Structure 1
Amino acid sequence: MTLGLLAPADEPIFDPALEHAVRIFQQQRGLSVDGEVGDETWRALDSARWTLGARTLDFSVNNPLHGDDVRHLQERLLEMGYDVGRTDGVYGPRTARAVAAFQREVGLYPDGGCGPQTLHALRRLGRKVVGGSPLRLREEHHFRTSGPSLVGRLIVIDPGHGGQDPGIVVPDGPLRWTESDIAFDLASRLEGRLAAAGMRVHLTRGPLGAEAPSDLDRASLANDLQADLLISIHVDGHRNPAADGVAAYHYGTENGVTSTMGEQLAGLVLREIVARTGMRNCQTHAKTWELLRYTRMPAVRVDIGYLTSPVDRARLIDPIFRERVVEGIIAAVQRMYYPSEMDVKTGMIDVSQIRLALSQ
């Protein structure tokens, strides 16, 4: 009710009106719209109760503050030209350093905390950066100066679900197809091909019966490894068997803040897969899923077909089709590092030549 999404109720029950309010909230926040209050939705609800100025913000190593107030502070600092990294709503060391830098400039004690004096100074000052996004400029500069070679770069491949969580499950006669198995097969194929191209590759989980880490754990792993890219592989499902196609997702908020290079990678992955497989293009979308939100490198999730679609299922169980998908992802990764004058048209990169260039 405090978010203005639900009228007062006589009894505290999870009725259709409450489910509808949850769905609206999930849609507004870029979450999966299922009407259920799972762990990720609950954390988003908890963050939404904070507005900037409602509490003093400071940095804690062991228990960093989370909330919409932190995200609004990050967005404010970002538009003023301070480097807070991704606006993830977490008061981490990068945000504390940006606050301290601002405090020094305005003559306040640079303790890295955001109390009443710092808030007052923020509110009375206008934007410093105009004519572009500072985050976008930093991200693009990093990629453009790192060179086109894939050799030595670290990529984290995340096969979705796993362990006791099979994801989408579809019985097919005596067989049983699961999202977790297909995602791991695609991830394993991609791991081998990218390693052959000279990249260092790390998977977030093992095969079949291995325990499935949470999205927070997967993001933490990628951050701890200081990965250059993260690609999460899923397949989709829908009650309508006619639903088919491939979609890609990157980090972005309802305020238009986005991971520029994540958005670029999502677009490249999507177009390369469509060009090589002929799948329906279901477009790219901005989401605030924790896997995309908390990773500090460009990260995308790609949903490769609908396991519930007879058309897509026939493709997904075909090893040749899976190889085409993998080739599309490799081509997209290579194009991420090409300068604009070296880039080629979608579907035109011969990934075997990437390995050939490495061996010469």
Structure 2
Amino acid sequence: MHLLRRGDSGPAVAEIREMLVRLGLPAGRQAPPPGSPAEFTFDADVEHAVRAFQQRRGLITDGIVGPATYRALREAGWKLGDRMLALLVSAPMSGDDVVTLQERLLELGYDVGRPGGVFDDLTERGLKAFQRDYGLASDGVCGPQTLRALRQLGRKVTGGRPGLLREQELLRRAGPRMRGKRIVVDPGHGGPDRGVVNSGVAEADLMWDLARRLVGRMSATGMEAMLTRREDTCPPEAERAAFANTAGADLVLSLHTDANPSMHAQGLATFHFGSGSGPTSTVGEALAGLIQRELLSRTSMLDCGSQGRTWELLRLTRMPTVRVEVGYLTNMGDRRKLLSTDFRDIVAEGILVAVKRLYLLGQNDHPTGTFTFSDVLAHEIARNEATAI
């Protein structure tokens, strides 16, 4: 769909207005008369309601209805029981009803991964296990009988979010060693999609170079680091997420730069899966915070914060995923830094150190900004020698 913003009009605007009203976000104090020009107009009230919805769902709060916001509006309209849910390989079902199903299965002790709202093979597996355990037809379809059983059963897990507790436990079990950990590094854009371009400098090229530097350092520590794309390709985000899921990655790191119409916009930001009102990846949030602090201490960039978002790559990956926005190519100071190979080396080292800190869980750690690549290598060598004894 094309972007819808303030000042636009037509049937698509009327559809957006109706969706917002159904979600309890009235686009105006009083609904316009059916069929009137106001019903089809994207006015200030509609924009305000869209912004409120975007903020609630962890989307960019710009008041514009693009593909991501439109998808989220459609998904928010589904409640568990509105339709039968099943695995559709060609066009996976998604919506708030899927989130509810995933959370309910997690509460009952079935592993369906993170409740990202997409009915995938892991959700089907968890649903079939539930059906089998409770004497239902194990067909992987959430229909009336399965819904009735879900509503009748008490919860096995109460207090906190079981899916997130499982994510934290996996981190604890992984141990502090880097060797053997599988990390997917995602250089943003690529191929014909150049991303942000300013004065001949393209985001895709800079992030490809940064990703290669990061992968090289990770490989030196014994990690298995993989790239989501080649230099000349640009897979869609859903495909990048599927690659990470199939690879069984422990973490995903997505590398980007930003842009803004104002040349004064600058700084560093990190993003993890989550929103103000829904599920949050606690390990992803912790890693985003570690990366943010390490890079700020090493680069003196402006702190734009660490935030939860429901963007596709963050939502569809089953493991903790962090997106790093390394400065604004539209800002002269940030651009000058990004063009420096020394700066990109510093960023690669900072991200690697943040990953190491995550697995150390606060043990034998160093003050922020003082842990070096050499320290990480020395730590790994000492761990490997201790294991060999």
Shift in Å at residue 201 of structure 1? Answer: 1.7
> Which residue number corresponds to residue 182 of structure 1?
206
Cα distance in structure 1, aligned partners of 2:233 and 2:244: 17
Matches within 5 A, 1:115-126: 115-126=143-154
Partners of 2:377 and 2:289 lie apart in 1 by: 24
Q: For 1:232-262, what per-residue CA distance to the aligned partner results, in whole angstroms no more than 9, with x for missing partners?
A: 0111122232222211100013433111211
For residues 315 and 242 of structure 1, the distance between their equivalents in structure 2, rounded to whole angstroms, comes to: 15
Contact 2:257 2:325 (C-alpha < 8 Å) held by counterparts: yes
Alpha-carbon offset, residue 225 of structure 1: 1.5
Q: How does 1:272-287 map to 2 (within 5 A)?
A: 272-287=294-309
Give 2:19's aligned residue: 2
Deviation at 1:19, TM superposition (A): 5.2
- Structure 1 residue ranges without an equivalent (≥5): none
Preserved contact between residue 241 and residue 313 of structure 2 (Cα < 8 Å) = yes
Task: Name the structure 2 match of 1:259.
Answer: 281
- Taking structure 2 as the reference length, the TM-score comes to 0.82
Aligned letter for 1:261? V
180-189 vs 77-86, greater mean Cα deviation: 77-86
Paired residue for 1:191?
A: 215
- Displacement of 1:187 after TM fit? 1.1
Distance 1:88 1:122 in 2: 19
In the other structure, the counterpart of 2:229 is 205
Query: Which amino acid in structure 2 is aligned with residue 132 of structure 1?
Result: G
In the alignment, structure 1 residue 239 sits paired with structure 2 residue 261: yes
**Does structure 1 residue 351 correspond to structure 2 residue 379?**
no
Count of residue correspondences? 354
Change over 3 Å in CA distance of 1:182–1:34 after alignment to 2: farther
Q: CA deviation at 1:46?
A: 3.0
Q: Deviations over 1:44-93 (max 9, x none)?
A: 23323322111112234444322221112212333344322111111223
Aligned partners of 2:56 and 2:277 also within 8 Å: no
Deviation at 1:147, TM superposition (A): 2.0
* Equivalent-residue separation in structure 2 for 1:73 and 1:181 (angstroms): 41
Which whole-Å CA distance do the structure 2 matches of 1:2 and 1:32 have between them?
A: 18
- SS where residue 363 of structure 2 aligns? coil
Q: Distance in 2 between matches of 1:260 and 1:203?
A: 24
Whichever residue aligns with residue 288 of structure 2, its letter is: A
Q: Which amino acid aligns with 1:285?
A: Q
Aligned mate of 1:326, from 348, 368, 375: 348
Stretches of 4+ aligned residues off by more than 6 angstroms: none
Q: Distance in 2 between matches of 1:313 and 1:61?
A: 42
- CA RMSD, 1 decimal: 2.5
One-letter amino acid of the structure 2 residue matched with residue 3 of structure 1 = L
Answer whether contact 2:171 2:359 (CA < 8 A) is retained: yes
Output the CA distance in 2 between the equivalents of 1:106 and 1:196.
49
Query: What amino acid is the match of 2:224?
Result: R
Task: Quote the Cα distance in structure 1 between the aligned partners of 2:347 and 2:243.
Answer: 25
SS in 2 for 1:334: helix
Scaled by the length of structure 1, the TM-score of the pair is 0.88
CA distance in 2, matches of 1:242, 1:137: 41
Q: Structure 2 unaligned runs (5+)?
A: 1-17, 383-389
Contact 2:292 2:306 in 1 (8 A): yes
The answer (yes or no) to whether the contact 2:20–2:49 under 8 Å persists in 1 is no
Residues 277-336 of structure 1, C-alpha deviation per residue, up to 9 Å, x if partnerless?
A: 122222211111010011111110011112222222222222222211111101011112
Is 1:70 the counterpart of 2:98? The answer is yes
Partner AA of 1:10 in structure 2: S
